[in-house]
């Protein structure tokens, strides 16, 4: 079988950042898939499942209620490798277009207090798998170390060298 595009990215050189993973035409609309990479693959520990699950709940809730961007949000969810999230948005967008939105999102998660939205048995398929303190810690780390100092190297996938 042909390799899918996400398996052709050089994960050995991939930094934490915001990347355009793909763009798809759906009807008359372009849907941009972003790779919101919070961990350097294979070089630092992956996100804990509970933390990532909590980030998913908080970020999805924040984004779908955002006063400017809500109507553009299609999906926010975790990567299977536990190194980040995918964000699907309506529109032909570039990584730089959503840096401020990601800063807002991770600032929200890092500062969140209270009950995690949707973390109840009637709302979630694994409501016990949440870790708010680690979600806040990981979000603050990503915000302060990556998003607040973002460069082109964190916005464009590295070229493969093979």
CATH code of the domain containing 119: 3.30.1360.80
Task: Kindly state whether residue 83 falls inside one of the protein's structural domains.
Answer: yes
Q: Average pLDDT over the chain, rounded to whole?
A: 95
Task: Kindly state whether residue 158 falls inside one of the protein's structural domains.
Answer: no
pLDDT in tens, 16-51: 999 999 999 999 999 999 999 999 999 999 999 999
Q: Which residues pair with residue 78 across a beta bridge? A: 85
pLDDT in tens, 51-95: 999 999 999 999 999 999 999 999 999 999 999 999 999 999 999
Task: Kindly state whether residue 29 falls inside one of the protein's structural domains.
Answer: yes
Task: Kindly state whether residue 43 falls inside one of the protein's structural domains.
Answer: yes
Domain membership of residue 73 as a residue range: 6-151
Percent of the chain past pLDDT 90, that is, above it, reads 90
Q: How many domains does the chain have?
A: 1
The two beta strands, 29-37 and 73-78, are: unpaired
Length of the chain (residues): 162
Q: Is 97 helix (H, G, I), strand (E, B) or coil?
A: helix
Sheet containing 17-26: which strands, arranged edge to edge?
17-26, 29-37, 84-90, 73-78
- Measured distance CA(117)–CA(36) in Å, rounded: 21
Q: Pick from 102, 114, 25, 112: which is nearest to 69 by CA? A: 102
Task: Kindly state whether residue 130 falls inside one of the protein's structural domains.
Answer: yes
Which pTM was predicted?
0.94
């Amino acid at each position: 079988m042909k390799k899918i595009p996400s398996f052709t990215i050089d994960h050995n050189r991939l930094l934490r950042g915001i990347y355009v993973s793909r763009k798809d035409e759906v009807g008359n609309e372009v849907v941009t898939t972003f790779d919101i990479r919070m961990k350097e693959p294979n070089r630092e520990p992956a996100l804990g499942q509970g933390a990532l699950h909590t980030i998913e709940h908080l970020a999805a809730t924040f984004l779908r209620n955002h006063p400017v961007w809500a109507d553009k949000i299609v999906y926010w969810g975790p990567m299977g490798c536990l190194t980040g999230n995918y964000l699907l948005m309506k529109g032909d967008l570039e990584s730089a277009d959503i840096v401020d939105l990601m800063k807002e999102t991770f600032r929200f998660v890092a500062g969140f207090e209270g009950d995690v939205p949707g973390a109840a048995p009637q709302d979630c398929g694994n409501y016990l798998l949440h870790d708010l303190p680690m979600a806040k810690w990981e979000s603050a780390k990503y915000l302060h170390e990556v998003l607040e100092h973002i460069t082109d190297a964190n916005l464009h996938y590295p070229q493969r060298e093979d």
